[in-house]
């Protein structure tokens, strides 16, 4: 990740604040949605969309764009808020979260929502799709990167570790995965449901370079 100047840090903080406001507004209006899991990735997605990723809202399918796979697809309101703030579609669309006939459904839909690179929602599958994208980038000798965002509860899915093993084996250095370690899943604390701790050690064992914050 790039080093942030004081001005960039202030800019991103303001953006993240607006993203959180929009998340709460759209979920409240819809009377449906995952508040906690969306709010816990607001800072991360703001950093990616407004600093790190090379994307163009005017050309969402640009071939050399960076890709983002929200593997924890239930946190779609955070992605939608960022996409609207970035200019992929009018912010008025945020008023129609989870409404039939509108583009912002309960989970990301790559066919109907500009800026969504992968349809997700079935936990564990997004990271596998991200691996496929990263392999394509490597085969093409391209510069674009792939970012995947997972939840800590999602790590209970065995497919995550198959993908982790795959990424290490094929040396997918164009792939960066983030684990939103907020300690919670829908049925309660991860330590009570099915603990995935220690997360960093597990990824290291699968051959990943790990940074813990």
210 found inside a domain: no
Residue 1 lies in a domain: no
Over residues 2-26, the mean pLDDT reads 95
Q: Is the pLDDT of residue 45 over 90?
A: yes
Question: Are 19 and 78 spatial neighbours (Cβ–Cβ below 8 Å)?
Answer: yes
Number of domains in the chain: 1
Q: Please determine, for residue 177, whether its predicted confidence score (pLDDT) is greater than 90.
A: yes
Whole domain around residue 193: which residue ranges? 6-205
Assess whether pLDDT exceeds 90 at residue 55: yes
Domain contains 75: yes
Length of the chain: 213
- pLDDT given for residue 186 in this prediction: 87
Q: Write out pLDDT tens, residues 56-84.
A: 999 999 999 999 999 999 999 999 999 99
* Percentage of the residues of the chain whose pLDDT score is greater than 70: 99
Q: What is the pLDDT of residues 119-164, one digit of tens each?
A: 999 999 999 999 999 999 999 999 999 999 999 999 999 999 999 9
Asked, for residue 173, whether it belongs to a domain, the answer is: yes
pLDDT at residue 2, rounded to an integer: 64
pLDDT at 93 over 90: yes
Tell me: pLDDT of 1 over 70.
no
Residue 127 lies in a domain: yes
pLDDT (0 to 100) of residue 42: 98
The whole-number pLDDT of residue 3 equals 81
Average pLDDT, the chain: 96
**Tokens matching residue 57:** 């809202």
Provide the H-helix boundaries in the chain: 6-30, 35-39, 42-47, 76-86, 126-139, 158-169, 190-193, 199-205
Integer Rg of the chain from CA: 17
Query: Please, how many CA atoms are within 13 Å of residue 208, restricted to the half-sphere of its CB?
Result: 23
CATH number at residue 54: 3.40.50.970
65 assigned to some structural domain: yes
pTM: 0.95
- Cβ neighbours of 134 (radius 10 Å): 27
| 4 to 66, 145, 167: CA distances (angstroms) | 20, 20, 28
């Amino acid at each position: 990740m790039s080093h942030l100047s004081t001005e960039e840090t202030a800019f991103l903080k303001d953006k993240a604040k607006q993203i959180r406001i929009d998340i709460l507004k759209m979920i409240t209006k819809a009377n449906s949605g995952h508040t906690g899991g969306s709010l816990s990735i607001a800072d991360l997605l703001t950093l990616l969309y407004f600093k790190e990723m090379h994307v163009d809202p005017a050309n969402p399918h640009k071939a050399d764009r960076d890709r983002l796979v929200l593997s924890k697809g239930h946190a779609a309101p955070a992605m939608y808020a960022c996409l609207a703030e970035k200019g992929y579609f009018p912010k008025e669309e945020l008023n129609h979260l989870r409404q039939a006939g509108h583009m912002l459904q309960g989970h990301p839909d790559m066919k109907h929502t500009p800026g969504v690179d992968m349809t997700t929602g079935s936990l564990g599958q997004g990271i596998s799709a991200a691996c496929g994208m990263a392999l394509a980038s490597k085969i093409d000798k391209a510069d674009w990167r792939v970012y995947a965002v997972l939840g800590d509860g999602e790590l209970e899915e065995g497919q995550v570790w198959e993908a982790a093993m795959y990424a290490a084996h094929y040396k997918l250095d164009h792939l960066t995965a983030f684990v939103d370690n907020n300690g919670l899943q829908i049925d309660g604390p991860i330590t009570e449901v099915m603990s995935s701790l220690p997360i960093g050690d597990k990824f290291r064992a699968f051959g990943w370079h790990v940074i813990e914050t």
